[in-house]
Amino acid sequence: MNQKNTFNLFSKRNNCRLCESKDVQLVVPLNPTPVAEKYLLKKDLSKENIVCPLDLYICNDCGHVQLLDIVEPNFLYSDYTYSSGTSKGLVKHFESYANSILENYKPIKNSLILDIGSNDGTLLKFFKNKGLRVLGVDPAEEIANKATKEGIETIPKFFNLTLSEEILQKYGSPKIITANNAFAHMDNLDEIMKGIHMLMDKSSIFVFEVSYLLDVVEKVLLGTIFHEHHSYHSVTPLNIFFNKFDMEIIHLERNTIQGGSLIGVVQFQDGMYKKDESVDKILEIEKKSNITKPETLKKFSENLNHSKNQINKLLNSLLINNKTIAGFGAARSGTTLISQMEIAKFIDFIVDDNKFKQGKYSPAGQIIVKPTEYIYEAKPDYLIILAWVHSKNIIKNHQKYLDQGGSFIVCFPELKVINNSNMNDL
Ligand SMILES: [Zn+2]
C-alpha cells in the first residue's frame, strides 16, 4: 500500500491553541494516520492513501495537550458519517445532560439554546421537548440539513465570529450555549471563544463537554486520539484560557461516557451563578497527578509502545499457530488502534453494525467491513475489539460467539484474551 503525505490537506501551527505560547514540546509521537472516519469504497483502494501526522504536543506555559498538525476542515468533514443518534449510550447521556442543565440553571420557556457542533440534533431535541427554542450549528452539511428537516434548525456552517454576529442579530442572545466535543474539535479556539462571549450576557452560561486528558492517560484511551480531536483538555489550562475572556468555570463534573469525559459550566466573571467546590477539587486532582507536566505524557507514550509490543507478540504467536483473527467495531478508534499498534496485517476482516460502513474498507490497513453476523459464518478464532471502550457490551452481546469457542482480545487498559472460561476477568 502506498502512503503519501499530501501537504495541502494539512497545515501545522507553531503555538499553543489556548495561550498562544510558542514553547510547545512533542511528548507523544504517533504514526501518521489516515483520517479515522474515512472508510473507503472498493474503487478508491487503488488510490494513494493519505496519511496525516498525529503527534501530541504539550504547551510548557499553560500545560495544554494538543495536536499541532491540522487537517484541512473541509477535507476532514466532507462525507462525514459520524452521527450521535446512532449510539444509544450517547442518546441517553445527552438526555440526562440536558435534564441536569435545565434543573440547575432553569431557563425560562422560549429561551434560546444554541448547540455548537450539534450533529444530528440529538441533544437539542431534549431541550426542544421541554419548550425551549433551539438552534444548532454544524459544518457536516448532510447531517445538518437532515436535522433541520426533522425539526431541529441547524446552520450548516463552521462556527466563527461572523456567524455569531449573524446569530445574535437573527435569533438574539442564547441563555445556554453548549458544545459537546466540538470544543476539542476546533483549531481556532480564540475566535470561537470571542464568538461565544459575544453571544452571552451576565445571565448566560456556556457548557462544554470534552474527552478528559486525565482519563485518556490513566485508562490509555488511545482510541480518542484522532484528527478531529485537536485538543486533549484538562482544567488547569482551560481555567487560564477562560480568564483571558473575563470568564470563569463555575462547575465541573466527570463522566464515564466514551471512556471518560469532563463537563464544564462557564459564565462571565460577574455572572449570576455561584462557583461550586467541584472546580477547586478537580484542579487539585490535576495538580497531584501532574497531568500538565511533559513527564506524565512521555510516560503515557512509553506505555503505548509497551502495549504495541505485547499486542504484536500475541497476534504473531496466534498467526504462527494458524489461528484466524478478525476485528470488532469500525469506529474511529479502530483507525488509530490499527495504525498505532501496526496490526492491519493480522486482521482478515472487521465487523460492524453500521450499514454505511459495511462493504467499505477501513482507512487504516484497508480491511473489509462485514455485518456483525458474519462472525457466526466465518467463525474467526479471535476477535480483536477495535472499539474497546465498549468491550463489556460487545462481549455480553456475543455470548454465542464465545459458546462456539471464539475468544475476544481486549487491548486496553491491559491486554486480555477473554473466552468462556475467564469472562468474569473483564
Ligand atoms: Zn499554552
Alpha carbon of 214 to ligand 1 centroid (Å): 17
Q: Which pLDDT score, from 0 to 100, does residue 7 have?
A: 47
**What are the pLDDT digits (tens) for 126-170?**
999 999 999 999 988 889 999 999 999 999 999 999 999 999 999
In a domain, 107, yes or no: yes
Residue 267 Cα, ligand 1 centroid: separation in angstroms?
21
Centroid of ligand 1 to alpha carbon of 114 (angstroms): 28
pTM: 0.91
Do residues 426 and 402 lie in contact, with contact meaning Cβ atoms separated by under 8 Å?
A: no
Same domain, 164 and 235: yes
Residue 77 lies in a domain: no
The CATH number of residue 212's host domain is 3.40.50.150
pLDDT value of residue 424: 73
What percent of the residues of the chain are helix, what percent strand, and what percent coil, each to the nearest 5?
A: 40, 20, 40
Q: Give the residue, 73 or 380, on which the prediction is more confident.
A: 380
pLDDT of residue 2: 40
User: From ligand 1's centre to the CA of 307, what distance in Å?
Assistant: 29
pLDDT of residue 3: 43
Burial class (CB in 10 A: 0-12, 13-18, 19+), 15: middle
Inter-residue contact 340 to 305 (CB < 8 Å) = no
Residue at 299 is within a domain: no
pLDDT tens column, 270-316: 999 999 999 999 999 999 999 999 999 999 999 999 999 999 999 99
Would you say residue 405 lies in a domain? yes
279 and 332 part of one domain? no
Residue 16 Cα to ligand 1 middle (Å): 5
The total of structural domains in the chain comes to 3
Q: How far is the CA of 18 from the centre of ligand 1 (A)?
A: 5
One domain for residues 191 and 48: no
Q: What mean pLDDT comes out for the span 383-404?
A: 92
Task: Tell whether 260 and 113 lie within a shared domain.
Answer: yes
* Residue range of the domain that includes 106: 84-292
CA of 236 to the centre of ligand 1 (A): 10
- State the pLDDT confidence band at 329, using cuts at 50, 70 and 90: very high
So what's the pLDDT on residue 78? 67
Residue predicted with more confidence, 175 or 44: 175
Does residue 414 register a pLDDT over 50?
yes
Return the C-alpha cell found at 312: 504484536
Same domain, 236 and 358: no
Q: What is the pLDDT of residue 1?
A: 39
- Residue 387: predicted pLDDT: 86
pLDDT for residue 86 is more than 90: no
Cα–ligand 1 centroid distance for 211 (angstroms): 18
Residue 382 sits in a domain whose CATH number is: 3.40.50.720
Question: From the CA of 238, how far away is ligand 1's center (Å)?
Answer: 9
Name which of 198, 285, 193, 281 is nearest 240 in CA terms. Answer: 193
What separation in Å is there between the alpha carbon of 19 and the centre of ligand 1?
A: 4
* Calpha distance 341→418 (Å, rounded): 20
Region of residue 183 (left: phi > 0; alpha: psi -120 to 50; beta: else): alpha
Domain identity same for 90 and 55: no
The identity of residue 45, as a single letter, is: L
